[in-house]
Amino acid sequence: MRIMHLLNSNSYSGAENVVIEIIACMKKRNVECIYVSPSGPIELVLKRRNIPYCLVDNLSIKEVVAVVEKYQPDIIHAHDFTASIILAMSRIKRPVISHLHNNPSWIKRINLKTIVYTCSSIKYKKILLVSEAIEKEFIFHGIMKMKGEVIGNPISLNKIIYKSNEVCNEKYDIVFLGRLTEQKDPIRFLELIQRISEKYTEISCVMIGDGELRQKCLDEISEKHLQNNVKVLGFQENPYSILKNSKILCMPSKWEGFGLAAVEALALGVPVLCTPVGGLVRIVDDACGKICKCNDEFLMEMNKIIDNENYRKLKSENALKKAKKLENIEEYISRLWKIYQEIKEC
């Protein structure tokens, strides 16, 4: 069986990590996969992970048709809205899976994007969703109920723990892990750090990730006089050793599809403070972290974890317990394999 994974992004983040994990696991089942996306920083990751790939100048209908003709896949697995719509518009006569990793705010309203995706869904054999939130929030949720299936994300605790053993001498109180984009709301993170630094003047924080708001974040750090409190590391292919040596993962996201970074933190015994969005409401609870509805709730919980060592240790122990309940790598790959088989045999 030959599967072509199609993505519109050229960098490395949550969805890209999931696709790479799928390809690596499917190889053990003798499924031939290829990663197709616009060229960019993702190429370095693909090379290091030994993932077969084909990078194009841009994800246009013409480019997609050419790649499909070259590789002749049995199934095209498109990731997120743009790649799915491009495939539908290309009129390629091959089975298509649309895999939605995110639930941006625009899916809640009637607009050109939601109308186009809904119309294009006639071309999809299956719509895979990383959380129930996408099904519930999509304005035309009928199509999600008809073709959608919540599959979650592949979670392998052993891989996370193994990667976290890389030597790291730096320790931080609070970590921001994610793309520096509107979705992840890094500016709100800096507002929180400014407020908590008024009490803990030597608090140590780190931002791991890159994106279009990087310069704005650097400007905010300067304006808020946080240069001694916040370090911006940029993209890190392996952030786990840094995360393991930290006390808190803070996720002030405006929206999330799944929230994989939260699971990664829990797997390393790091409590997670987050907003009540997307899949995070299923991952985080009061035992292993805190779902915070306002800045004051974030700050109150940060204070308790930093001030009280016993409280932090209890949260850490519960984080490990919660992570074990979320591990699903074998079940996930078996389920996806079954979906591929069913679609191919149709």
Indicate if 150 and 183 belong to the same structural domain: no
Indicate if 19 and 90 belong to the same structural domain: yes
Distance (Å) of CA 108 to CA 135, 141, 143, 247: 10, 10, 14, 35
Indicate if 308 and 339 belong to the same structural domain: no
């084909």: which residue's tokens?
54
Indicate if 107 and 138 belong to the same structural domain: yes
Domain that holds residue 22: 2-154+328-345
| CATH for 161 | 3.40.50.2000
Average pLDDT over all residues of the chain? 94
Euclidean distance between CA atoms 264 and 155, whole angstroms: 9
φ, ψ (nearest 5 deg) of residue 169: -95, -5
Euclidean distance between CA atoms 57 and 44, whole angstroms: 16
CB distance 278 to 290 below 8 Å: no
Instruction: Summarize the confidence of residues 294-323 as an average pLDDT.
Output: 96
Task: Tell me which amino acid residue 300 is.
Answer: M
Indicate if 183 and 55 belong to the same structural domain: no
Euclidean distance between CA atoms 115 and 293, whole angstroms: 31
Indicate if 122 and 150 belong to the same structural domain: yes
pLDDT at res. 169? 81
pLDDT at res. 346? 77
149 secondary structure, DSSP code: E
Indicate if 299 and 166 belong to the same structural domain: yes
Indicate if 107 and 200 belong to the same structural domain: no
Indicate if 310 and 170 belong to the same structural domain: yes
Predicted confidence band at 237 (pLDDT cuts at 50, 70, 90)? Answer: confident
Indicate if 314 and 332 belong to the same structural domain: no
pLDDT at res. 251? 98
For the chain, what is the domain count? 2
pLDDT at res. 344? 86
Indicate if 51 and 126 belong to the same structural domain: yes
Indicate if 18 and 101 belong to the same structural domain: yes
Burial 279-313 (b: 16+ CB within 10 A, else e): bbbebbeeebbbbbeeeeebbebbeebbeeeeebe
CB distance 193 to 204 below 8 Å: no
pLDDT, tens digit (0-9, with 9 covering 90-100), for 79-112 = 999 999 999 999 898 999 999 998 888 999 999 9
